[in-house]
Amino acid sequence: MDQTPVITSYKSLNLAWMPRVDGAFLKDHPQQLVKQGSMAKIPMINGNADDEGTLFTVFNYNTTTNNEMHKYIAEVYLPNATQAKVNRVLTLYSDDIADGSPFDTGDVNAVTPEFKRLAAFQGDVVFQAPRWFFLQHQSGKQDTWSFLSKRSKSLPVLGSFHGSEMASFWGPGDMTDYLIRLVVHLDPNSRTSLPSRQFS
């Protein structure tokens, strides 16, 4: 039997490290747990970078046409969907390069004709949609603050990519104060003074 590893970037965000139900720590899919109300009702901050999908799309050089985009979405994300539903997705995600991710960068950063379109789709499906799903279900049940980071927009191809906001949170960065206020006062926007802190 051939043991040669096959390296492919085709499945991109069909990742091995997505949350997996293990029956002990994670007893069900995260969205199901939210729907069931199996969530700790504690104050929290959640958020995303604006261009979450770019980092995971940059190696999808083999998705360059509308037909290849259709095939990719149908096989990787919506294997049980009808052709009409996949076509509807493609209608919602315009093939106009200027509409894609990195957002607000016009025709710049189009690595392939479908790159920005696919990056927008993947960023929404894997990152933005779950965040909004959580916020909609938890609204009125717990104190929740949310952010959308648009920093690093000038970074070629990637823009405000996945994880680009972390340095400002785990700083010293300007967002670190929000986390400290959340922990100390259960409100990231608290006007109460922060405890003094030192970074070594």
| pLDDT tens sequence across 117-137 | 999 999 999 999 999 999 999
Domain count, the chain: 1
Determine, yes or no, domain membership for 32: no
Give yes or no for a contact between 7 and 52, defined as CB atoms under 8 angstroms apart: no
Model-level pTM? 0.84
Determine, yes or no, domain membership for 27: no
CA dihedral sign, ordered 73, 77, 60, 3: negative
Alpha helices in the chain (DSSP H): 30-36, 54-57, 66-72, 83-92, 115-123, 129-138, 166-169, 176-185
Domain membership of residue 116 as a residue range? 44-164
Determine, yes or no, domain membership for 73: yes
Determine, yes or no, domain membership for 62: yes
Give tens-digit pLDDT for 61-103.
889 999 999 999 999 999 999 999 999 999 999 999 999 999 9
